Structure 1
Amino acid sequence: MKRLIQLFPLFLFFFTISTAYSQSSLKGKILDKADNKPLTNASVILLNRDSVLRYYNRANEEGKFQIKNIKPGSYILLATYPKFELYSDTIDINDKDVDLSDIKINSQKNVLEEVIVSRRLPITIKGDTIEYDAASFETEKNAKLEDLLRRLPGFTVSGDGNISAQGKAVQKVFIDGEEFFGYDPKIAIRNVRADAVDKVQLYEKKSEEAELSGIDDGVRIQTVNVVLKEKARKGIFGSVEALGGTKELYAGNLFAAKFNQTERIGITANHNNMGSSNGREGSLRMNNQITGEPLNTSLGANYENQFFKKALKVNANYNYNNSSNKNRSEDYNKNILPDESVLERKSKSNNKSSARSNGVRSNLSMRLDSTQNMELQTNGNWSTNFNLNHTESATSDGTGTAVSSFNEDNESNTSSKSNNFRLNYRKRLKAGSSLNLMVGNNFNESSSESKVNSKTYIFKSNDSTIIDQTRIGENKSNNFSSSLNFNNRINDAMNLALGYSFNHSKSTNEQRSRDNATGKVDTLYSKDQIDNNTNQGINVHLSYRKDKFEVNLSNRTFYKNQKLNDSFRNVDLSRNFWDNNLNFDANYRLSNSKNIRLAYQSSNIIPSFDQLQPLQPQTNPLFQQIGNPNLKRAVNNNISANYNAFSLLKGTNININGNFSFVNNPIVNKITVLENSAQISSYENLSGKSNWNGGLNINHMQPVANRRINFNKSANVRYSNSYSFTKFESEQSQGEFRLNNSKNTSFNLGSSLNEQDSEGFDFDISLNAGINAQQNSINTQYNSTNFEGGASGYIKYFLPKKFNIMTNIYYSYTGPTKLYKKSINQFYTNLELEKKVLKDESLTISLKAFDLFNTFNNTRRNGSDTNYSESIQQVLTQYFLVGVKWDFNKYLGKSND
């Protein structure tokens, strides 16, 4: 095996060389037929026989062009120039280079007859929307929308289905303008067939809150809308998959959908013991380490339709989830205190958990008449949870002398239910004016019972604390909200919106902790808390849009009345105050393909009642939280900027975004560590200093090798500066709080190459490298800078007889620090062999191997302030699977052309 690994680069080299020698070049010259003058920058395009774009280039100042590395085959040659006729011809490329000499085309003013161009453009820009013609991007048979998106210039799709476009994360995916399986948008991209898609549209939409209220909050959401072919709006499609393997692993997945114009019905089902509930089990592109001993079952159903001549839109779905797990973990924690005292804690945990939930969601949208619209959203959820945890921990000082030990068994059962609704009504008044009304309510209720049995032992004082309790909890909350907003267009460029909002919430939180021996309530571990909050706010929003310039300025001022009572701890807190949030963003479109945005937000960080309470209910003898009633609000300021530019003809994209935020008068943690390793936590305002952080990200994408390969580059840097107080208290010394200033800097460079053309082989290779620097003003001897890096590669070979072989290789490196002397190397290799059978290639049989060499390292490290930790969990890495998948399709997207 080692020999094979050594020979692999040599094999890949010869494969690449042999491929290069089987390719040819095409050259020629584009001239004006009237005067033989060169047409500079004329576009030369090669399409295959299915009119799919394969190669592209431009003519130079002399009108000459050359396209290299063309695979042998038959092509359609197009030559285009603004205000000139379209030149079209067929051409065969063999193993020899082709010289077309002169191509002469007429100016449209010299063409007497009308010319109708029927060929489709791969990419077009319509206002703020980029539209991709799906037929111009080749995919395999039975490919899904996810595979199509991977082929679109500017798009990337991660192994777990996260989409990025033009350097920004895509948060919404619509099918014909509507959400499909709204509770999980990834269901759409994993199951909708690529051959059913006509167009893919990319744009930025307003936030849901802004669309419902009519007040623009400046938030923009990167959105993909998939336009189906007309013939694809009626049909049945889906897939069935079964997996089985070593370690008694198995998974079964079902997806089925029926489309009938406006009506859409879909169902999903999944059952597996591989730790996932989204149908991604056995995906070669993902990190498939299985944590613990999981078991998952999920069901989902979705219904959409339109009634009364599309005046009423209905979207409803149901989902059921049942999951459980058994897991073991080990943790090591090192706390280095201001006086250089050291507390080391080693702990082990065994956990068993299960959760079951039922959820119903619905959305009704009705057009009452030409000026009135109404939308009703309702949701309901019922769930039960069980958790059984056994923990053992031992703490020692720097010399290895035992300080304390803690053992606990905790068994809990929780049941909860919730329901909410939101009604939105919009009335269009005179031209440019509208009225928006919103009323909503959210109710939550839960009950719990937990049995706690723990023993804490302090070695120096020879003291022990035994807790044997049954804790009964009852929680209820109800939140009513409403708003009224008026929008008025002042002129063609300016719009003013005014709004009023009212919100009232009440919650009760009870916990009775009874000693199992005496039956008495232990007030130290109990609470009887009642929260009452009333908020009223005035919103003002002014927007200006003129040509390429857009500005949004909004201000929200709230008057808040808050009360908290707890009879167990004699807590009675009440406060009234004004709160203000300011938002500003400006957007300037330099051109259709270049855009710059600048935004600023200012908001107050209000101390929560949890931070203000004099005493919180204790959880165990080694941790106690004490509030600070004198806390003041902090002010957070955030500035962000973004520049985005792309070229459709060149296929390039660059995105630069940066942000800087700082908090004045920050609320910081204040930790007291006792000699027996117990901790007391509190909070304090830090005057005269600020917590702040900033970052810069640069992403650049460009096609190479005649646009067959996408080359992506990225760079990012982040810096954070924060504060906290720490004190060590012993019998000999009460100690003093010392202020720790923590500074963290990270810098990373990355690049990737990917080709996906469904011929020969696909590949997606990425590299990244960076450094991390951590500094603390306390314990400066552990300040360090370490190196991090990694690489991953996905390669798919298309073999004869409908065989395919895929491999995914991953490696990451975390360098040593002054505290951790050993580096962490994480490496795994996944391999899959698949065979497509049946005439339509709808049935796929596969053999998969995960972590082929059993080399994955499960160690995790974290560090903050004066605490450093390292953990290991029970993880299954190496296993093998046999899979069968059937893609079925009746009518959807099918054609004979």
Structure 2
Amino acid sequence: MVEVGDINTNLSMNFLQNTISLLILLLSVSIVNLEAQNVTVEGKIIDKISSETLPGASTMLLQKNDSTLYKFGVTNLEGKFNLKGAKPGEYILQVSFIGYNTYYKKIELKSETPLLNLGTISLTVKAEMLKGVEVVEEIIPMAIKGDTIEYDADAFKTQPEATVGDLLKKMPGVEVDKSGTVKAQGEEVKKVLIDGKEFFGDDTKMATENLPADMVKKVQVYDDMSEMSKMTGIDDGNRTKTINLKLKKDRKKGVFGNVTTSGGSTALATGDLNDETGLYNGKFNVNKFTEKMQLSTLGMLNNTNEQGFSYRDYINFVGGGVNAFAGGGGFGQLNTGGILIGGNTNDGFTKTAAGGANLNYDFTPASTFSINYFYNQADKDMNRTIERQNISDSSSFNTFQNEIQNQFDKNHRFNLKYKQQIDSTQDLTISGNLTYSEGTSISISNNKSTTNKGIFLNESNTNNSTVGENISGTGTITYGKRFQKKGRSVVTNFSAGSSSNEKKYNIFSSNSFAAIPPNLPFTNTTDQFQFENNDQFNYEGKISYNEPLGKGKYVELSYERKNYDNSYLKDFFDIISPNSEIFNTNLSLSYDNSFVYDNYGLNLRFAKGKSNFVVGGASQRSVLDGEIISTATKINQTEWNLLPKAQWNYNFNTSTRFVFNYFTNVNQPTLQQLQPTLDNSNPLYLYQGNPDLNSEYRHTASLRVMSFSQFSFVNIFANITGSYTKDKITNAQSLNNQFIQTTTPINVDDDYFLSGYLYFGSPIRPIKAKINIRLNSSISRSILFINTQKNDLERLANGFDINLENRNKDVVDIKAGTKFSITNTTYSESTNLNQSFLSTVYYSELIINIKKTWTFSTELDYTQYSGDQFANNPDIPILQASLSKRFLKGNAGLLKLTVYDIFNENVGINRTSNSNYIEDERVNTLSRYFLISFTYKISRFGGKKKKEAETSN
């Protein structure tokens, strides 16, 4: 008999094979088509009166039957253009230049004439339209310029109140999820710049969720290199997916922003008109820009689970020693690569307050300065239930948890950056950051484990609290010097940082265990105070020398040293009575360690025409010196590794680019993985580090193609990434007779990973629509140990997303689509524990502009879950709608009514598939409610005030 899991596994494998085959086919077809050439059209563009050439003029070949764009080009410094690869036929030549009337001419291309020279074409002040020709022009939405994809914001219609995030959602190859995380070409965006300048450091949400979309002229997406790589021209592999927002010319000087105040209630959800659960959401964003300065201020206060910033500081330090979100009372599991198979990131009830300022100032064109400060606090209440199916060596057992949790944190962040071009041969960059965080976490939970048949195994009632604070800072200086000989340069970089993290835990648990032979039933209690202190200091320095070897050939010699010092202390005190405690010598630990890397590098770079190639590598010596002070145990490890690398960039033409990357790297174990201390935050799930871990050695290769046709508006982004890791650090689980699970990190022989991503977008002109398709697929093969039994673990994860939207969005903007994901996990030995899940989401968005000042919008997400491992697979429809009115002079005011979760179905489900468990989490969350908001928009440019409607959700 064929099992459902086998069918799903086969489907997933076929999906992966088909995805990769489709990627290869599309790449092959693209490459072949790119090289096809038939007829070339050339000419020269001049001013009719002065006869001066016009460099930068746009030249286009339009299809004669429907005036759609077929070929596109720009004149060079001599005013000449060259349109290659045109097929024989009849076309319209269109020439345009700012300040001149557009020129049109009917032409016919014949195969027997491979070169058509149109001679000199004169543009005049007065229009000379081609009689009988009606041309409908379209804004070209994007272009590929070297390693940068540039979008024209005017090609993407947004509402007057839209944020930058709303604009990015509409751009091909860019995704913005419900939490505000931005991905471009399948990779997470780590930095957003404003006209090339910093904006609140590397917190991308500060720009995407707070700045208005109507200020943006162009959006540039690229992989930003490190400061050192920019100076040397040699890619060191430290790239950051970056978005640069280029401002409209009239937005570079003036004052703009908005102020929003909102109020509402959850009475619609409770059905009680006397419900006094009031909701509020207020925020402001005011910016002043001049030729030399960009000054931005923002603030927010709400209890509607809205954060216009990233939450990373909070995650870094609050909670138990294993899982920050466990709060000392959760399951306390390390994140071992679990796949989120469906969920809601807006769980619980959070009160948020935040504010900050960002200043960019140009002292001179060669001297720039950036500084920003941001404060935020969040008070989050959660009530959650978790059902987890744990996988043991031969069977599985279930764990159920009910938890009430409160987390409160405060964070201060400070960043600065100074760049100075000392002269035409010298560059200097200085940057630094400082962060201070403090917070508390309180968790009360009940955890119970049973067999698959419901037979009681153990139970634990916990009451844990954590108080913590952390201060950290880093500073970096980079200096580059170019010599008289072109291509010869030397670049140096030095950075240093330190952090101090202190936590205090109060751990209480009452535990009971069933009679499992040979043990009788018994109970015990843990009542402890724990003190943890973690001090870290690191520095790294690098020097790079570059020498030209001939035309387009360069060699780089480099030396780099990295040093990471850590001092860790955790003391355990058993509480005997409210006023009496005993130091626990068995669990307490004091630990020092130091990682030192010496890296000797050699790279060769070849640049010729459309191609750029780098090959080289490094020899790296790494030394770990550690001491467990409490037991006088020494830990010493020394490794030598060869780290080869290669990179090839090839620009087929102005619309298509190919990038291949191969590199190797060494990943040292984290402090948490090395610490031989026991984390007993949850007495049923223990974690203990392993000081004998080796570093991981990883090979990674990737292939990426970006293609956009300025003629058909078809765009393709595709990438394939694979990795192989030796001495992969994974987690081994062991279960004792009482089903207490202990997790310890270990090294395993081999680990493989392969993933593919494809985005395809194209207009469907007959129905005036656009289709977007996304495919992603991954397969990983690793090793899992459960009670010393080795399982070869294979995990498949596949996703598909397709949607259709209209192109003319002046009155109606509509999009509808579906996306689904399939995950399968199989075990070589415990095949009866194989897992299979499917989640499907149907979604739609509708915006209707009624006359000029009214707007109605609605959004629906309908989610379906399936999987035999879960008893309940609900269907969850989430619908929201709003009606807004713009008014006041210049439409400066906007009044908006919004109803969220109209069906009252938001139940906060998070599902995770991990290597040794599957989990279904239900969290209380903000369900049906309404808000009435008023927004006032400030817009003063060039000394004149303009008022436009603005809203904020």
TM tier, shorter chain? 0.7 to 0.9
Once residues 730 and 310 of structure 2 are traced to their aligned partners in structure 1, the CA distance between those partners, rounded to angstroms, is: 41
Contact kept in structure 2, 1:454 and 1:468, CA below 8 Å: yes
Give 3-state SS (helix, strand or coil) of 2:583's partner: coil
- For residue 802 of structure 1, what is the aligned residue in structure 2? 853
Deviations 1:790-813 (A, max 9, x none): 211110011136211101010122
- For residue 93 of structure 1, what is the aligned residue in structure 2? none
- Equivalences for residues 735-884 of structure 1 within 5 A: 737-755=788-806, 757-783=808-834, 785-800=836-851, 802-817=853-868, 819-884=869-934
- Higher mean C-alpha displacement, 868-877 vs 754-763: 754-763
What TM-score results when the alignment is normalised by the length of structure 2?
Answer: 0.77
- For residue 451 of structure 2, what is the aligned residue in structure 1? 397
Deviation at 1:301, TM superposition (A): 0.3
Deviations 1:631-686 (A, max 9, x none): 55554222221222210121111122112222345444332211101123335544
Once residues 677 and 207 of structure 2 are traced to their aligned partners in structure 1, the CA distance between those partners, rounded to angstroms, is: 49
Q: Which amino acid aligns with 1:393?
A: N
- Residue from 673, 681, 706 that aligns with 1:644: 706
- Residue from 346, 368, 381 that aligns with 2:422: 368
- Residue from 377, 380, 391 that aligns with 1:322: 377
- For residue 94 of structure 2, what is the aligned residue in structure 1? 80
- Residue from 272, 286, 294 that aligns with 2:350: 294
1:312 has 2:358 as partner: no
- For residue 481 of structure 2, what is the aligned residue in structure 1? 427
- Higher mean C-alpha displacement, 796-805 vs 762-771: 762-771
Contact kept in structure 1, 2:907 and 2:923, CA below 8 Å: no
1:579 has 2:641 as partner: yes
Once residues 595 and 498 of structure 1 are traced to their aligned partners in structure 2, the CA distance between those partners, rounded to angstroms, is: 28
Contact kept in structure 2, 1:232 and 1:894, CA below 8 Å: no
- For residue 710 of structure 1, what is the aligned residue in structure 2? 770
Contact kept in structure 2, 1:569 and 1:615, CA below 8 Å: no
Contact kept in structure 1, 2:677 and 2:689, CA below 8 Å: yes
Deviation at 1:888, TM superposition (A): 1.0
In structure 2, do the counterparts of structure 1 residues 45 and 168 end up closer, same or farther at CA, with 3 Å as the change threshold? farther
- For residue 470 of structure 1, what is the aligned residue in structure 2? 529
Contact kept in structure 1, 2:173 and 2:759, CA below 8 Å: no
- For residue 564 of structure 1, what is the aligned residue in structure 2? 626
Once residues 703 and 229 of structure 1 are traced to their aligned partners in structure 2, the CA distance between those partners, rounded to angstroms, is: 27
- Equivalences for residues 40-51 of structure 1 within 5 A: 41=63
Deviations 1:666-723 (A, max 9, x none): 4443322111011233355445xx3222222222111123695321122233222222
Contact kept in structure 2, 1:393 and 1:405, CA below 8 Å: yes
Identity %: 22
Once residues 547 and 612 of structure 2 are traced to their aligned partners in structure 1, the CA distance between those partners, rounded to angstroms, is: 17
Once residues 375 and 627 of structure 1 are traced to their aligned partners in structure 2, the CA distance between those partners, rounded to angstroms, is: 39
Contact kept in structure 1, 2:907 and 2:922, CA below 8 Å: no
Contact kept in structure 1, 2:62 and 2:94, CA below 8 Å: no
In structure 2, do the counterparts of structure 1 residues 87 and 275 end up closer, same or farther at CA, with 3 Å as the change threshold? closer
Contact kept in structure 2, 1:610 and 1:616, CA below 8 Å: no
In structure 2, do the counterparts of structure 1 residues 290 and 661 end up closer, same or farther at CA, with 3 Å as the change threshold? closer
In structure 2, do the counterparts of structure 1 residues 125 and 483 end up closer, same or farther at CA, with 3 Å as the change threshold? closer
Once residues 685 and 166 of structure 1 are traced to their aligned partners in structure 2, the CA distance between those partners, rounded to angstroms, is: 33
Once residues 483 and 535 of structure 1 are traced to their aligned partners in structure 2, the CA distance between those partners, rounded to angstroms, is: 11
Deviations 1:820-873 (A, max 9, x none): 354332221111111111242221111111111112343333333442322211
Contact kept in structure 1, 2:68 and 2:711, CA below 8 Å: no
Contact kept in structure 1, 2:698 and 2:723, CA below 8 Å: yes
Deviation at 1:415, TM superposition (A): 1.8
In structure 2, do the counterparts of structure 1 residues 339 and 873 end up closer, same or farther at CA, with 3 Å as the change threshold? same
- Higher mean C-alpha displacement, 758-767 vs 780-789: 780-789
Q: Mind listing any 5+ residue stretches in structure 2 that lack a counterpart?
A: 1-40, 42-60, 70-84, 110-115, 128-136, 267-277, 312-341, 947-953
In structure 2, do the counterparts of structure 1 residues 703 and 519 end up closer, same or farther at CA, with 3 Å as the change threshold? same
- For residue 516 of structure 1, what is the aligned residue in structure 2? 575
- Equivalences for residues 276-675 of structure 1 within 5 A: 276-278=306-308, 290-307=346-363, 309-340=364-395, 342-430=396-484, 431-460=486-515, 461-517=520-576, 518-606=580-668, 616=678, 619=681, 621-625=683-687, 634-675=696-737
In structure 2, do the counterparts of structure 1 residues 197 and 617 end up closer, same or farther at CA, with 3 Å as the change threshold? closer
In structure 2, do the counterparts of structure 1 residues 673 and 813 end up closer, same or farther at CA, with 3 Å as the change threshold? same
Contact kept in structure 1, 2:143 and 2:708, CA below 8 Å: no
Once residues 817 and 491 of structure 2 are traced to their aligned partners in structure 1, the CA distance between those partners, rounded to angstroms, is: 49
In structure 2, do the counterparts of structure 1 residues 143 and 336 end up closer, same or farther at CA, with 3 Å as the change threshold? closer
Give 3-state SS (helix, strand or coil) of 1:516's partner: strand
Contact kept in structure 2, 1:636 and 1:662, CA below 8 Å: yes
Deviation at 1:621, TM superposition (A): 4.5
Give 3-state SS (helix, strand or coil) of 2:819's partner: strand
Give 3-state SS (helix, strand or coil) of 2:523's partner: strand
Deviation at 1:471, TM superposition (A): 1.9
Once residues 564 and 599 of structure 1 are traced to their aligned partners in structure 2, the CA distance between those partners, rounded to angstroms, is: 35
Q: Which amino acid aligns with 1:813?
A: Q
- Higher mean C-alpha displacement, 132-141 vs 863-872: 132-141
Deviation at 1:362, TM superposition (A): 0.6
In structure 2, do the counterparts of structure 1 residues 536 and 654 end up closer, same or farther at CA, with 3 Å as the change threshold? same
- For residue 887 of structure 1, what is the aligned residue in structure 2? 937
Contact kept in structure 2, 1:484 and 1:500, CA below 8 Å: yes
Q: Mind listing any 5+ residue stretches in structure 1 that lack a counterpart?
A: 1-31, 33-38, 48-57, 65-77, 91-101, 728-736
Deviation at 1:121, TM superposition (A): 7.1
Give 3-state SS (helix, strand or coil) of 1:754's partner: strand
- Higher mean C-alpha displacement, 497-506 vs 181-190: 181-190
- For residue 249 of structure 1, what is the aligned residue in structure 2? 279
1:700 has 2:700 as partner: no
Contact kept in structure 2, 1:533 and 1:563, CA below 8 Å: yes
Once residues 746 and 68 of structure 2 are traced to their aligned partners in structure 1, the CA distance between those partners, rounded to angstroms, is: 67
Deviation at 1:241, TM superposition (A): 0.9
- Equivalences for residues 216-255 of structure 1 within 5 A: 216-218=235-237, 221-247=240-266, 248-255=278-285
Contact kept in structure 1, 2:386 and 2:401, CA below 8 Å: yes
Once residues 125 and 469 of structure 1 are traced to their aligned partners in structure 2, the CA distance between those partners, rounded to angstroms, is: 60
- For residue 293 of structure 2, what is the aligned residue in structure 1? 263
Deviations 1:104-145 (A, max 9, x none): 899995878554799997466655555555556665556555
RMSD: 3.7
Give 3-state SS (helix, strand or coil) of 2:349's partner: coil
Once residues 624 and 211 of structure 2 are traced to their aligned partners in structure 1, the CA distance between those partners, rounded to angstroms, is: 49
Deviations 1:303-324 (A, max 9, x none): 11111x3332110000001111
Deviations 1:480-500 (A, max 9, x none): 222221122222312221111
Contact kept in structure 2, 1:346 and 1:393, CA below 8 Å: yes
Deviations 1:541-567 (A, max 9, x none): 222111112212242322222222223
Once residues 273 and 207 of structure 1 are traced to their aligned partners in structure 2, the CA distance between those partners, rounded to angstroms, is: 39
Give 3-state SS (helix, strand or coil) of 1:762's partner: strand
Give 3-state SS (helix, strand or coil) of 2:207's partner: helix
- Residue from 203, 208, 228 that aligns with 1:184: 203
Once residues 442 and 659 of structure 1 are traced to their aligned partners in structure 2, the CA distance between those partners, rounded to angstroms, is: 32
Once residues 745 and 215 of structure 2 are traced to their aligned partners in structure 1, the CA distance between those partners, rounded to angstroms, is: 57
Contact kept in structure 2, 1:289 and 1:876, CA below 8 Å: no
Q: Which amino acid aligns with 1:794?
A: E
